[in-house]
Structure formats: structure tokens, C-alpha cells
């Protein structure tokens, strides 16, 4: 990162760091503002940096919390760790309890959807609303070839951890508006994943995608999907980049069947990193949703 723009990614992330101790591991999170809590849950290969354009406009009225999963962002990246969906769900649940988040709104993207919804099922009494972006919480209906290739023994791991191809490809292939990927934004998205050791969870997330029913995370996802009808009474907003090649419109349709009351917004010109492509449109959509679904309890 030699250019001034690349070195200046921290100016885009002007937040104070916080950490939760998880059995001796640093579990990093952002905690900005006060008011009803908004808990933002990222996927792979992003981190809390992905939520910066929602944290800033909402922290004046809400408590905006954005977590970095173990192995991601500014959290610890232990070389030997159960980088599994069930573990990430347990970690997020611990944060919800430790911060005593109540009547919270969960905002989730990519793998963060399964993690957030898994935690919501375990802590349903603390969850008031859901806002989901290009995600899934069910056994994958398909796995794109470019992701299956990352599972190739030896070569896949070398590509992900040695060459950082997964994260580097994402800053180009996950957006439809290349001008949004300025040097500083690219640098920010890639900053925590700058060497082999620091890419352990990027690889771990990919390997945790269940390709068959024999994979233990298949059942974890199936259990989460089976529990989702119990959350169907909640206000739900679905915001989808319709040019996503990974969490395609078919995934949106699956959520619409699970949450038939959901407020749905299809952004036809946005890709997988939908918040990068369209945050100017997303902020007012989320703001109206929060205002229209506010309850007396949510304003205490």
C-alpha cells in the first residue's frame, strides 16, 4: 500500500475499538452512539469496515455495534480454532449477552446472515427487527464454481491464504460500481488479511460451506432454517443487490417464502457488496423501516 489513498483507509473508519474476551481471545467490535441497538454482522471476507457507511448516519440516534468475527478484522486470528458456523453463532450470542443488547435490530450480510439468525433463534427475547442483505441461512441451493474451486485441496488453500485471491477478487467481483472501490476502500477491506496467518478465517469460512449433507454445518444451517418461522412475527426488511452471483435472487425468494410479511427492496444495479454499491439509497430505506417499526420499548 504505497499510495496516500491506500494508506488513508483509517480515515474511513474513525471508530473507537472495543473488545470482548472470549476464552482469552480478543473479540473486536465497534460500539458507537446510544439509543436502541443496531447490531451489524459481516460475512466473508469482510469485517466491520464494511458497515462504516451505515454506522456514521445512524450513530446519532442508535447504539451501532459492529462485530469482527474471530479470525476477521481486528479480532484475534488463532491458527487452530473451530472456524465453524456454530462457533461464530455462539460468539455472537456471547456478545449480545455481555453487552446486554435488548430489543435489538440485527443487520446482516453474507455469512453474517446465518450467524445473526442463528444467534437470534437462541436469544429471541432480545431481538426486535431483522434487516438482511444478500445472505443465506439454509443449506446452499448451489455453490458457484469459483467458490468450489477454492475448496481444491492444497491449491485452494494456497490461493486463499498465499495469494489472497478470495479477498482480492471480491473487491472487484462483488461490486457493480468499480468507482466505489477507491484505493482507500480496497485497502480498508483488505487490511486485516495481509499475510498467510491473518487469512486463516477467510479459508475457514470457505471450508465451512457444506457441499454435502455429511458436512456438520449442513445440519447447523438446516436447523437454523427450520427455526426461522418462529421469527416470522418480527418486522423484517430484505435489501438485495440483484446482480449478486453468489447470494442470487433465488436466495431472496427463499427468504420471502420464510418471511412473507417482509419489506423487500430489489436494487437492480447492485452486486454482492450491496452496501458498497448503494449505501446512499440503503440509508433512507433502513431509516424509514426503523421509524415505521419503532415501538415504545425501542425508544427507551
| Residues 46-81: tens digit of each pLDDT | 999 999 999 999 999 999 999 999 999 999 999 999
Four-point Cα dihedral 96, 116, 103, 59, nearest 10? 80
Query: Which residue's C-alpha cell is 445473526?
Result: 116
Per-residue confidence (pLDDT) for residue 145, from 0 to 100: 56
CA separation for the pair 165, 159 (Å, rounded): 6
Q: Give buried/exposed letters for 119-143 (b at 16+ CB in 10 A, else e).
A: bbbbbeebbbbbbbbbbbbbbbeee
Q: What is the set of active-site residues?
A: 110, 244, 272
For residue 124, give the C-alpha cell.
429471541
CA separation for the pair 134, 117 (Å, rounded): 14
pLDDT (tens digit, 0 to 9) for every residue of the chain, 300 residues total? 345 555 589 999 999 999 999 999 999 999 999 999 999 999 999 999 999 999 999 999 999 999 999 999 999 999 999 999 999 999 999 999 999 999 999 999 999 999 999 999 999 999 999 999 999 999 987 666 566 666 666 566 756 787 677 888 899 899 999 999 999 999 999 999 999 999 999 999 999 999 889 999 999 999 999 999 999 999 999 999 999 999 999 999 999 999 999 999 999 999 999 999 999 999 999 999 999 998 654 443
- C-alpha radius of gyration, the chain, whole number: 18
104 and 38 Cβ atoms separated by less than 8 Å: yes
Do β-strands 25-32 and 63-67 pair in parallel, antiparallel, or remain unpaired? antiparallel
| Residues 105-126: tens digit of each pLDDT | 999 999 999 999 999 999 999 9
Look at domain 15-142+216-293 and name its CATH class. Answer: alpha beta
| pTM metric for this prediction | 0.93
CA separation for the pair 165, 103 (Å, rounded): 39
Amino acid at each position: 500500500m504505497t499510495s496516500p489513498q491506500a494508506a488513508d483507509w483509517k480515515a474511513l473508519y474513525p471508530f473507537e475499538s472495543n473488545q470482548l474476551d472470549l476464552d482469552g481471545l480478543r473479540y473486536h467490535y465497534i460500539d458507537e452512539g446510544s439509543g436502541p441497538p443496531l447490531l451489524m454482522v459481516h460475512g466473508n471476507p469482510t469485517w466491520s469496515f464494511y458497515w462504516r457507511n451505515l454506522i456514521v448516519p445512524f450513530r446519532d440516534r442508535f447504539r451501532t455495534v459492529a462485530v469482527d468475527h474471530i479470525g476477521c478484522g481486528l479480532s484475534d486470528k488463532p491458527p487452530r480454532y473451530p472456524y465453524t458456523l456454530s462457533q461464530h453463532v455462539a460468539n455472537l450470542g456471547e456478545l449480545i449477552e455481555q453487552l446486554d443488547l435488548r430489543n435489538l435490530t440485527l443487520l446482516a450480510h453474507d455469512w453474517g446472515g446465518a450467524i445473526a439468525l442463528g444467534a437470534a433463534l437462541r436469544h429471541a427475547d432480545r431481538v426486535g427487527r431483522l434487516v438482511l442483505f444478500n445472505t443465506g441461512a439454509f443449506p446452499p441451493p448451489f455453490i458457484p464454481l469459483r467458490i468450489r474451486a477454492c475448496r481444491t485441496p492444497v491449491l485452494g488453500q494456497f490461493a486463499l491464504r498465499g495469494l489472497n485471491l478470495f479477498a482480492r477478487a471480491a473487491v472487484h467481483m462483488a461490486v457493480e460500481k468499480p468507482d466505489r472501490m477507491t484505493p482507500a476502500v480496497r485497502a480498508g477491506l483488505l487490511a486485516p488479511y495481509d499475510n498467510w496467518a491473518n487469512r486463516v478465517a477467510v479459508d475457514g469460512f470457505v471450508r465451512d460451506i457444506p457441499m454435502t449433507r455429511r458436512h456438520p454445518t449442513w445440519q447447523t444451517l438446516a436447523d437454523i432454517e427450520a427455526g426461522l418461522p418462529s421469527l416470522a412475527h418480527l418486522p423484517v426488511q430484505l435489501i438485495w443487490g440483484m446482480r449478486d452471483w453468489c447470494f442470487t435472487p433465488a436466495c431472496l425468494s427463499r427468504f420471502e417464502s420464510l418471511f412473507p410479511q417482509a419489506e423487500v427492496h430489489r436494487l437492480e444495479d447492485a452486486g454482492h457488496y450491496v452496501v458498497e454499491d448503494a449505501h446512499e439509497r440503503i440509508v433512507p430505506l433502513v431509516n424509514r423501516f426503523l421509524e415505521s417499526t419503532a415501538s415504545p420499548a425501542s425508544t427507551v
